[in-house]
Amino acid sequence: MKRRDFLKTSVAAGMGLSLFPKVEGILAQETSTIKPAHPVVISSANGERAVKRAMKFLQNGTDPLDAVISGVNIVEDDPDDITVGYGGLPNEEGEVELDSCVMHGPTHNAGAVAAIQKIKNPSKVAKLVMERTDHVLLVGQGALRFAKAHGFKEEDLLTERSRKIWLYWKETLNKEDDWFPSQLNDLDEEVKKYFHLGGTINCCAVNTNGDLAGVTTTSGLSFKIPGRVGDSPIIGAGLYVDNQVGAAGSTGRGEANLKNLASFMVVEFMRNGKSPVDACLAACQRIVDHTILPALLNEDGRPNFNVKFYAINKKGDYGSAAIYSGGTFWIADAKGARLEEMAYIFKKSE
């Protein structure tokens, strides 16, 4: 070996000695042998039925991913929930477009679909993408064709209620166009509150083996530009699972989460020793710190939107946090299923 090459090798080895102990220390944190004595399921505020069903499946030994998907299927199938699945509010052209992703801790595998139309359960299609392809994300017509190839039937996802809400939005959008709103004022108040509604369900679980999984599914921002994709089908944004550490998911303004890959950050914060609630708070603070565009700030310089996170770690500890106060989440564990309040960065002004 030439002297020059020997010196390069020696320097590299020396750098390795100073860097690798830190890396090994992090890895040691990841491989904790502590496991929960009882399954734990966490979900967003619309997830009461989801956590209860997922818990029953976990208690019967079902794989955690199958359990949480089964839980959110209840909401996807519910025509009265206008933010997820069947009956979800459409894009600006009146078409319901759905997004979903899943992630399986034991295999560190993931699947997702985005902007898929006419399929009521995108979470099931996302799982098939994970299991039956070498891809992670399928979108639009490609996702629809894939779903149909696996036996899914096309359905009209626009219910009469969601159609009326969309139509009212379209009729009142511009006073100069040729669309006139209904003169039935009793309908107006019913639908006004749904303008630009964003809604999503996230559900994550850990079983008694310490295995984790998660799913996020949504119809996205109401009246969005066709083809708009938020954070919900994006691994690292709407959901992230590391079986050695924990799982985290999100609801709220998807664009803010996409710019920060905050669900991934929640898991990384837990990897480095933060509790689930502190990890969620840290992710919220990261978004606050990075929100500098004037159009996204209110009068006091704070974000004019909210983002919420939900997390559990391998030990079964859980937590949730939002930028603003007032949020709630569902948790199911050995004490049963219950609604709890989120931690937050800022108190919402009355």
What interhelical angle do 262-271 and 276-290 show, nearest 10? 140
Which of the pair, 160 or 71, is modelled with greater confidence?
Answer: 71
Q: Contact 47/75 with Cβ under 8 angstroms?
A: yes
Per the prediction, the chain carries an average pLDDT of 88
| Average pLDDT score over residue span 72-92 | 94
Boundaries of every domain in the chain:
34-158+197-346, 159-195
Among residues 200, 216, 217, 218, which one is catalytic? 200
| pLDDT value of position 250 | 97
Give this prediction's pTM.
Answer: 0.87
The model's pLDDT over 219-228, given as tens digits with 9 standing for 90+, comes to 999 899 999 9
In this prediction, residue 13 has a pLDDT band, given cuts at 50, 70 and 90, of very low
The model's pLDDT over 143-154, given as tens digits with 9 standing for 90+, comes to 999 999 999 999
Count of CA atoms in the C-beta half-sphere (13 A) of 249: 29
Active-site residue flag, 200: yes
CATH of the domain spanning 34-158+197-346, picked from 3.40.190.10, 3.60.20.30, 3.90.1200.10, 3.30.1780.10? 3.60.20.30
